[in-house]
Structure 1
Amino acid sequence: MSYFSRIRLKPGLDLAQLVRLLPTNAYAEHKLVWQWFGEEQASRDFLFRREQQGHWPFFYVLSQREPVAPPHLWEVESRPYQPRLADGERLAFMLRANPVRVRKISDDRAVKTRRRDDVVADLKKRRYADRAQRPPMAVIVREGGEQWLAERAENGGFELESLNVEGYHQQRLYKRGAEQPIYLSTVEFSGILRVADAGKFIKRLHQGIGPAKAFGCGLLLVRRV
């Protein structure tokens, strides 16, 4: 059984509580959401997405267990998640993803042999290195993001009918005790898709799309149109 939850701040919290409570970056969000599922050392069995309502955040969470958040701070609305879909159905979707490709850089097993390249930054560097010929950043984001998501559509059991790609954002995340920061880039996708293989697509809904799921990426939100 899976659960889809919306988790919002309780009304009436004072400013001092909010300052202490609210995460300031994706790593802080990661730690906050983990707390709703017990020990952080346990394997992750959830996806989440942060949204904003006015000045305050709220979260959509898809999980195998019901989240348990402190009731004096958070309101949790959960329901069973059992999508029933058929081939050919059209769905509006939203996705926040970390669009990277894994590139082999060495055959030497004694060193790191693969790396993850940000598809937008890589496209900008490789195809549009000449600044005089470089299109606006929004064009590069759309080109890189569209190709990346299209590559994942077939294995995900869906076809893209229309697509918006925007909101490219880069962050450096610092984990206590780590020597190097974590580099995280995100892109916002939305549009209309058609279910090509309902079995594959439902599996993809549960598993998410792309890496960095522990940092709020990969949750595919859909509704019928």
Structure 2
Amino acid sequence: MFLSRFRVNTARPGARRLLSSPQAMHAAVMSSFPALLPTDTPNPDEPRVLWRLDHQARAEVILYIVSPDRPDLTHLVEQAGWPAVASPDTPGWQTKPYAPLLEKLSAGESWAFRLTANPVHTIRRKDSEPRKATAHLTPVHQMRWLLERQERCGFRILEKSNDKRLLPSGTTYHGKHEHHGDQYELTVRDHNNRSFDKSRNTDGNRNGKPVTLVTVTYDGRLEVTDPTTLRRTLTHGIGRAKAYGCGLHTLAPLTPPTPPASL
């Protein structure tokens, strides 16, 4: 497994085209692997290609890719990078083996994490209708979506200490439903509702209905509960819409607290 990092040159037209369409970015990412064909279907039992866009600032966008094979992002550098300064030593992206991090995971460790996901649930309006996947639209329900999956994904989201909570219990209630907005070391941000064309025909016209996708980004802190399961989560992704930049769950060392200044 490999983890790759590519900084997007947002000033270039090619970059703006890729950033405006998850379908176009998906195609560009998958083109980084010569052994993969556009018609290949991911095997659910094997690690797959996952990607995510992190908007660090208005003009700073980072593309992260986790993949079973080492990618060649030369075409992305040419379309959406800085090709004039690329060289064999600095090709325009960084790729590192992912195995060292995966192998050292152990139960009880704490990490910071980030995940962009498509939080959905299935509902039906009438008993006679089939169940339909519908996006969660409020931060409360989006947070609950991830909390419901933490155990099966091999981790536990850390709870805030009492001195960091605005409420003594960290929870509020609306009717019979418990809201955990102030209980966990977890934030939900960057709610994005996008609609894009999945494909076009040879005349440049749309094929079928556009795809509608709701995404959010989770930032938080977790404790490893099952290293084997968490390794699968990191290499297989969480939730739906993985082809469109969702599901990539990454870890980072926790930043140690800043010691108080000496008098």
Q: Which residue is 2:188 aligned to?
A: 165
- Asked whether the equivalents of residues 174 and 182 of structure 1 are also in contact (C-alpha less than 8 Å), the reply is yes
Q: Which residue is 2:110 aligned to?
A: 90
Match of 1:31 among 16, 27, 34: 27
Classify 1:9/1:149 alpha carbon distance in 2 versus 1 (closer, same or farther; 3 Å): closer
Q: Which aligned pairs between 1:15-164 and structure 2 lie closer than 5 A?
A: 18-22=12-16, 23=18, 24-38=20-34, 39-44=37-42, 45-52=48-55, 55=59, 57-70=61-74, 73=78, 74=81, 75-82=92-99, 83=102, 84-103=104-123, 113-120=130-137, 140-141=138-139, 143-161=140-158, 162-164=185-187
1:216 is aligned with what amino acid? G
Deviation of residue 178 (structure 1)?
Answer: 2.4
Q: How many angstroms apart in 2 are the aligned matches of 1:163 and 1:56? A: 23
1:113 is aligned with what amino acid? P
Q: Which residue is 1:215 aligned to?
A: 244
3-state SS in 1 of match to 2:148: helix
Q: Which residue is 2:233 aligned to?
A: 204
- Asked whether the equivalents of residues 113 and 221 of structure 2 are also in contact (C-alpha less than 8 Å), the reply is yes
Q: Which residue is 2:7 aligned to?
A: 8
Match of 1:183 among 207, 212, 217: 212
Alignment RMSD (CA, Å):
2.4
- Asked whether the equivalents of residues 49 and 66 of structure 2 are also in contact (C-alpha less than 8 Å), the reply is yes
3-state SS in 2 of match to 1:30: helix
3-state SS in 1 of match to 2:27: helix
The structure number with the bigger radius of gyration is 2
Equivalent residues, number: 196
- Asked whether the equivalents of residues 106 and 114 of structure 1 are also in contact (C-alpha less than 8 Å), the reply is no
1:76 is aligned with what amino acid? W
Unaligned runs of 5+ in 1: 121-139
1:223 is aligned with what amino acid? A
Deviation of residue 105 (structure 1)?
Answer: 7.0
List per-residue Cα deviations over 1:164-185 (Å, max 9, x = no partner).
1122110111122422111100
3-state SS in 2 of match to 1:28: helix
Q: How many angstroms apart in 2 are the aligned matches of 1:148 and 1:46? A: 23
Q: Which residue is 1:127 aligned to?
A: none
Q: Which residue is 2:171 aligned to?
A: none
Q: How many angstroms apart in 1 are the aligned matches of 2:41 and 2:94? A: 23
Deviation of residue 107 (structure 1)?
Answer: 8.6
Q: How many angstroms apart in 1 are the aligned matches of 2:27 and 2:126? A: 33
Unaligned runs of 5+ in 2: 43-47, 82-91, 159-184, 201-205, 255-263
Structure with the bigger percentage of strand? 1
3-state SS in 2 of match to 1:153: coil
- Asked whether the equivalents of residues 8 and 63 of structure 2 are also in contact (C-alpha less than 8 Å), the reply is no
Structure 1, 24-33 or 215-224: larger mean CA deviation: 24-33
- Asked whether the equivalents of residues 105 and 115 of structure 1 are also in contact (C-alpha less than 8 Å), the reply is no
Q: Which residue is 1:137 aligned to?
A: none
Q: How many angstroms apart in 2 are the aligned matches of 1:186 and 1:70? A: 28
- Asked whether the equivalents of residues 97 and 209 of structure 1 are also in contact (C-alpha less than 8 Å), the reply is yes
Q: How many angstroms apart in 2 are the aligned matches of 1:150 and 1:90? A: 17
Q: How many angstroms apart in 2 are the aligned matches of 1:105 and 1:80? A: 47
- Asked whether the equivalents of residues 145 and 165 of structure 1 are also in contact (C-alpha less than 8 Å), the reply is yes
